[in-house]
Structure 1
Amino acid sequence: MSSPSQEDIATALDFKNKGNEYIKKSDYDSAIEFYSKAIALDSTQSIYFSNRALAHLKQDNFYSAVVDCDNALKLDPKNIKAYHRRGLSYVGILEFRKAKNDLNVVLKAKPNDITASNALKVCENFIREERFKNAIGGSGDNAKSNICQTLNLESFNANADLKTYKGPKLNFKQLTDEKNSPAGVEVENMSQEFISGMVNDIFLKGKTIPKQYAAAIISHVDRIFLSEPTLVELSNENTKEVKISVCGDTHGQFYDVLNIFKKFGKVSKDHIYLFNGDLVDRGSWSCEVALLFYSLKILYPKNIYLNRGNHETDNMNKIYGFEDECKYKYSQRIFDLFSLSFESLPLATLINNDYLVMHGGLPSDEKSTLDDIRNLDRFSQPPREGLFMELLWSDPQAANGLGPSQRGLGFAFGPDITAKYLERNKLRKVFRSHEVRMTGVKYEHDGKLVTVFSAPNYCDSQGNLGGIIHITPDNGVLLQNGNDDENLIVETFTAVEHPDVKPMAYSNGGLGF
């Protein structure tokens, strides 16, 4: 602990106040910078650590927030904000019992705190579910393991939404197995006309399609995902008229997704799209985004691909709003179908044997190869450690080697890790997403790793651009937005207007602070 001079104390206070100003502007990087300057001069102030914890929490840097709250509480064991922020951070890293303890402290001091109360309910639900799974002697996954592929369409016939629905129509085929039992549903007439009508006449007017339609679309697309490998391989080297476009997180920002297709072209036989995870959560149109992507996948199974992100998981969906949105707009059953379909999503994509695309980051195993990805059993919720988790959760760092993740899950990996992985697997670059980049696309690790993030003005507060990377062999645009590759075109875009619905508008708990 420092012994600051009076001058240091005064300067540190000024830095703290500047950090507070940046918090109000949602500029969390700058806030962290100024809180860190304050702490460097005067590390005796609990509030400096708990304020920096808030900035880390806003960026999903849960591990860093926990460390700051620990330091804040050592200095002032009565710092309720530190307990609150540490509790929410524990929720973020799925440590629900630790979160519960901290949130109970908060609610004892502030019984009417809505955020703490909602987060505590989430923790208690997770703890109950874990106890139930342990009591029945398994993970609980088997109970939902075949929902999509045993779907009985007739079970939706009594729903009133079918009788009142006046939108574009779909026809379905009930599939059966050798015992004549229901074995999922096939959409027989998916078309561009249906998709356009669903978007323009239903979604853009604030309406929903019937639950039967949603269930049939999910059941059909799940079979497509099941047929795809864990590492999808794409190529346009010999078909240079075909463009492959890689997008990062979209996070339920439906209006920005529509703008991507308007600005850069629709899915077609000459334009393949890859959306690199985190399709849902945070934004309040996650159902619309998922159903649009799923409908396009049915119509163009070889022209749109979806990688799984860390938000295509049950824990994240319960915390960040997608489950609650599904229950509000459709039903718990529709969320359960989505949940299973997320378990079928591929984990990575290899393009032209040059570019590896995954949501989070590279493996921590220094001997790992592409075959390790190919051989993963992906059909489950991700474990807390190992390659599966790292592909979804890890982030790059500036320093060489491996370090702890600021998020508390996965690792932080350095430029040397990236360079060795590329060399070992004869790759050119890694594309990943998972983190906001103010410029939409950012070249990192000596240009060997590229982060692409496609949710502009993330959560209506970050002010960032969205980004997209087009793979166009021998027709790239050098120096555009930092591009150093003659096969790539790197473009950015701004957010578009949307109805006045706040992020996580349907969330009943978790981190909706």
Structure 2
Amino acid sequence: MAIDLRETFLEAEEFKKLGNDFYKEKKYEDAIDCYTKAIELDSNNAIYLANRAMAYLKTEAYGYALADSSKAIELDPHYLKGYYRRASANLALNKYKESLKDFQTITKLAPKNKVAKEKSKECEKIIRQILFVEAISFDDCKKSVVDDIHLDSIKVEDSYLGPSLPSDGKVTEDFLKSLISWFKDQKPLHKKFAFQIIIEARKLFAGYESLVYVDIPENAVFNICGDTHGQFYDLLHIFEINGYPGPNNLYLFNGDFVDRGSFSYEVIFVLFSLKLLHPEYFFLSRGNHETVSMNRMYGFAGEVKAKGTELMLKLFHETFCCLPLAYVVEKKIFCVHGGLFSEDGVTLDDIRKINRFQEPPESGLMCDLLWSDPMPQNGRSPSKRGVGLHFGPDVTQQFLAHNQLEYIVRSHEVKDNGYEIAHDGKCITVFSAPNYCDQMGNKGAILTVTKNDLSPQFKTFTHVPHPDVKPMAYMNMGTMFEL
């Protein structure tokens, strides 16, 4: 019996070692598989669980990471890495109070741990900021940020040599070209023109319903792009290989324009400018990262404060609340950032009636639209992310049949080839941030259809070089996933 236990231990250790090797190579899914095999051999080893939690963090499976790290702590209440992993998972889910408790536990177990002390202070600071914002928002909840912006009083200095909007404030082709060139040199847009663009985009988005119907013109193509996540130079590459928007080349960017990549400021201004230039040919939908809580953690808030102002960030957040939640193309293709619902019988009219002018709630239709993911099994299950749910092929089929649709296009998940076809061809994921976060090695993709042929065609592409600014350079809490 002792020999069998010894052999089991050695086999489990071998899987752990292999998992560690995969992790170092940034092959996180392979690492997860190896750690899982080690856990199957020895489910009471806290190290195996903490290692898998770390790999889950890298793949954004925060719900799973939370479960594994909690189990590791259960097995070994003095295991510091278990607390670190759980704190990181809670940070990713914007649960700062829970993270603070774990960092405080680490400081009790290891009083000389400087990292835990620093993270505790950062958590406390963020909690105070959130409480302050909530307090002033409650006092002045009906006031628009626009009321505090007085464009006529903002002077453009003679020293400013960047792109300028014409006197009527309308975005032109020349302005867009100048803006892109200026951004390539990593220079910020003057705040007067920045405010003008956001204000006009806000007005435009506010005029849409939460669900927008789009018809494709004859002899035109309709392109759907997934997450761009602040990868400005890859965004420009999309237009270089696939053409800029126009009457015969329509685009829908399917959410998650900002965060993670450190050029989110440039991405969002180019996208908003394109929307103002081509309102009938260019569309944007809201993703789960077009939200206050995600921006606070994943970089956009810090980036806008660095390149713009605090007031500009507030205006962005107000504008994000105006973005439509979903589109129906040619009455047959349902486009949404995340996925489907925790309940049956949802109609397109139900989606149209959602009050989207708010931060997403933690449950309900709006949350599901922004956060959910498909799974291969029938039915529904809790999400690996800790928010939203997993939905199966039967859920997809029922929703499509109920609403007389052909298939779903969604984004929200990195895919090795830039896209994935699931649920018998009825649920397609498209992701357009190649080499996501400079480490995943994935391709990006564009999905294209025409009015007379709604069968999806795909164009894939690889990443292009960008200036030496690391992803998440403006991220709150620093390197939380390296703990």
1:359 is the counterpart of 2:337? yes
Instruction: Give matches, 1:116-131, under 5 Å.
Output: 116=116, 119-121=119-121, 123-129=123-129, 131=131
Deviation at 1:134?
A: 6.7
Instruction: State the match for 2:99 in structure 1.
Output: 99
Instruction: Give matches, 1:471-482, under 5 Å.
Output: 471-475=449-453
Instruction: State the match for 2:287 in structure 1.
Output: 309
Instruction: Give matches, 1:268-279, under 5 Å.
Output: 268-279=246-257
Instruction: State the match for 1:162 in structure 2.
Output: 157
1:444 is the counterpart of 2:422? yes
- Structure 2 distance, partners of 1:274, 1:496, is 22
- Structure 2 distance, partners of 1:382, 1:107, is 34
CA distances 1:401-447 after superposition (whole Å, capped 9, x unpaired): 11001111111111111110011011100111111111101001111
- Structure 2 distance, partners of 1:410, 1:493, is 30
Instruction: State the match for 1:229 in structure 2.
Output: 209
Distance 1:445 1:119, change over 3 A: farther
Could you tell me whether the CA contact under 8 Å between 1:16 and 1:35 is conserved in 2? Answer: yes
1:430 is the counterpart of 2:425? no
Instruction: State the match for 1:148 in structure 2.
Output: 146
Instruction: State the match for 2:459 in structure 1.
Output: 491
Equivalent position SS for 1:464: coil
- Structure 1 distance, partners of 2:39, 2:139, is 46
AA of the residue aligned to 2:208: E
Could you tell me whether the CA contact under 8 Å between 2:409 and 2:430 is conserved in 1? Answer: yes
- Structure 2 distance, partners of 1:104, 1:406, is 26
Deviation at 1:334?
A: 1.2
Deviation at 1:129?
A: 4.6
| Stretch moving more, 310-319 or 336-345 | 336-345
Instruction: State the match for 1:181 in structure 2.
Output: none
Distance 1:396 1:113, change over 3 A: farther
Deviation at 1:256?
A: 0.4
Could you tell me whether the CA contact under 8 Å between 2:145 and 2:311 is conserved in 1? Answer: no
Deviation at 1:110?
A: 6.7
Q: TM-score, normalised to structure 1's length? A: 0.89
Aligned residues, how many?
478
Instruction: Give matches, 1:388-399, under 5 Å.
Output: 388-399=366-377
Deviation at 1:259?
A: 0.3
Instruction: State the match for 1:216 in structure 2.
Output: 196
Instruction: Give matches, 1:145-294, under 5 Å.
Output: 145-148=143-146, 151-157=149-155, 162-172=157-167, 187-188=169-170, 190-200=171-181, 202-236=182-216, 239-294=217-272
| Stretch moving more, 486-495 or 339-348 | 486-495
- Structure 2 distance, partners of 1:135, 1:497, is 43
Gap regions ≥5 residues in structure 1: 174-186, 476-485
Deviation at 1:90?
A: 1.0
AA of the residue aligned to 1:507: M
- Structure 1 distance, partners of 2:157, 2:23, is 47
Instruction: State the match for 2:82 in structure 1.
Output: 82
- Structure 2 distance, partners of 1:451, 1:72, is 33
Instruction: Give matches, 1:105-116, under 5 Å.
Output: 105-108=105-108, 109=110, 113-114=114-115, 116=116
AA of the residue aligned to 2:282: I
Instruction: Give matches, 1:375-394, under 5 Å.
Output: 375-394=353-372
Deviation at 1:125?
A: 4.2
CA distances 1:284-336 after superposition (whole Å, capped 9, x unpaired): 00000000001111111111111000000000000000000111111111111
Could you tell me whether the CA contact under 8 Å between 2:400 and 2:407 is conserved in 1? Answer: yes
Could you tell me whether the CA contact under 8 Å between 1:343 and 1:380 is conserved in 2? Answer: yes
Equivalent position SS for 1:55: helix
Could you tell me whether the CA contact under 8 Å between 1:400 and 1:413 is conserved in 2? Answer: yes
Equivalent position SS for 2:69: helix
- Structure 2 distance, partners of 1:148, 1:283, is 27
Deviation at 1:118?
A: 6.1
- Structure 1 distance, partners of 2:140, 2:288, is 18
Deviation at 1:270?
A: 1.1
| Stretch moving more, 104-113 or 451-460 | 104-113
Could you tell me whether the CA contact under 8 Å between 1:121 and 1:509 is conserved in 2? Answer: no
Deviation at 1:397?
A: 1.3
Could you tell me whether the CA contact under 8 Å between 1:148 and 1:222 is conserved in 2? Answer: no
1:36 is the counterpart of 2:36? yes
Distance 1:38 1:439, change over 3 A: same
Could you tell me whether the CA contact under 8 Å between 1:470 and 1:488 is conserved in 2? Answer: yes
Distance 1:313 1:4, change over 3 A: farther
CA distances 1:364-389 after superposition (whole Å, capped 9, x unpaired): 11011111110000001011110011
Could you tell me whether the CA contact under 8 Å between 2:106 and 2:113 is conserved in 1? Answer: no
CA distances 1:191-246 after superposition (whole Å, capped 9, x unpaired): 1111111111x11111111111111110011000011111111112xx33111100
Could you tell me whether the CA contact under 8 Å between 1:118 and 1:508 is conserved in 2? Answer: no
Could you tell me whether the CA contact under 8 Å between 2:65 and 2:89 is conserved in 1? Answer: yes
Could you tell me whether the CA contact under 8 Å between 2:88 and 2:480 is conserved in 1? Answer: no
Instruction: State the match for 1:371 in structure 2.
Output: 349
CA distances 1:19-66 after superposition (whole Å, capped 9, x unpaired): 111111111111100000011111221100000000111111111011
CA distances 1:150-170 after superposition (whole Å, capped 9, x unpaired): 63113433xxx7332112321
AA of the residue aligned to 1:263: I
Distance 1:230 1:511, change over 3 A: farther
Instruction: State the match for 2:6 in structure 1.
Output: 6
AA of the residue aligned to 1:18: L
CA distances 1:449-505 after superposition (whole Å, capped 9, x unpaired): 000000000000000010110112345xxxxxxxxxx63211111111111111011
Q: CA RMSD of the aligned region, Å?
A: 2.0
Instruction: State the match for 1:500 in structure 2.
Output: 468
Instruction: Give matches, 1:308-347, under 5 Å.
Output: 308-347=286-325
- Structure 2 distance, partners of 1:329, 1:117, is 29
Equivalent position SS for 2:157: helix
Could you tell me whether the CA contact under 8 Å between 1:91 and 1:510 is conserved in 2? Answer: no
Instruction: State the match for 1:481 in structure 2.
Output: none
- Structure 1 distance, partners of 2:263, 2:112, is 32
- Structure 2 distance, partners of 1:436, 1:88, is 20
Deviation at 1:512?
A: 5.0
Percentage of pairs with the same residue: 42
- Structure 1 distance, partners of 2:455, 2:134, is 51
Deviation at 1:148?
A: 3.2
Equivalent position SS for 2:9: helix
Could you tell me whether the CA contact under 8 Å between 1:320 and 1:512 is conserved in 2? Answer: no
CA distances 1:57-81 after superposition (whole Å, capped 9, x unpaired): 1111111011101111122111111
Could you tell me whether the CA contact under 8 Å between 2:225 and 2:252 is conserved in 1? Answer: yes
Distance 1:334 1:512, change over 3 A: farther
Equivalent position SS for 1:360: coil
